Amino acid sequence: MISIKEEDSIAPPAPLAKAAFLSRGEVSRLFGVSASTVTRWARQGLLKTLRTPGGHYRFPADETRRAAGFGVPNEQDERRPD
């Protein structure tokens, strides 16, 4: 019979954290453009990117989300003063 001690048990995996980087496809969906447009923006330096050893683009999630929301008015901006 095999007995398992408490210290031998495996801890459950930690909850998945928000990804630090977005893929090209995720960025294209975020902006509502094609993946080739995202690649062009990356090559032109319009979006900050990292390249993986395999040559894939990765985009810093927080900065890219901020860029996608830039210029979008919030409710307070849409209200006119009385």
List the pLDDT tens digit at each of the 82 positions of the chain: 554 455 455 545 544 556 799 999 999 999 999 999 999 999 999 999 999 999 999 999 999 999 898 534 454 544 555 5
CA distances from 4 to 8, 9, 14 (A): 6, 7, 22
pLDDT of residue 75: 46
- Which phi-psi region, left, alpha or beta, contains residue 77 (left: φ > 0; alpha: ψ -120 to 50)? alpha
Inside any domain, residue 61? yes
58: β partners: 50
Inside any domain, residue 2? no
pLDDT of residue 34: 96
Inside any domain, residue 30? yes
65: CATH: 1.10.1660.10
Question: Taking the C-alpha atoms of 64, 68, 70 and 74 in order, what is their torsion angle to the nearest 10 degrees?
Answer: -120
pLDDT of residue 33: 95
